[in-house]
Amino acid sequence: MRFYRGKGLQDLDLFLIGPDRMKDIRMLELPGGRIGVFSRPQGDRGGRGTLGFTHVDRLQDLTARAIAEASLLRGQFQPEEWGGANEAHVLRGGRIGVLGHIARMDEAGKHYYPMVFAL
């Protein structure tokens, strides 16, 4: 994924290229100005696709390596499932609410389901 920033659509500059082939990277501003980042590692570290979370002090501190090494959120999926974060919002009280998806495959094909949780 490629990430751009600027003051408007005509003024966007590339500031980050995420880890190779990683989908569903989501950022949000946390209370106090820190940046929260949800990742979706696959392969040896994340299987078919799991969730990770990290935070950095400033957007300038965010790197592909920081995203790739985000702490994994265990227990979100069964071994045969995968998924990711679609949106993340700071909730009252400072917790992070996440809207996401879970997917699985069977003989009829892929099936996607909504999920929601809070950190």
Write out the H or E segment, with its range, that includes residue 64: helix 64-68
Distance between CA atoms of 70 and 38, rounded to whole angstroms? Answer: 8
Locate 38 and state its tokens.
């949800």
Give the model confidence (pLDDT) of 6-34 as tens digits.
Answer: 999 999 999 999 998 888 899 999 999 99
Number of domains in the chain: 1
Task: Characterise 94 by phi-psi region: left (phi > 0), alpha (psi -120 to 50), beta (else).
Answer: left
Range of the domain at 31: 2-118
The CATH number covering residue 98 comes to: 2.115.10.20
Distance between CA atoms of 119 and 16, rounded to whole angstroms? Answer: 25
Give the model confidence (pLDDT) of 77-103 as tens digits.
Answer: 888 899 999 999 999 999 999 999 999
Q: What is the pTM of this model?
A: 0.88
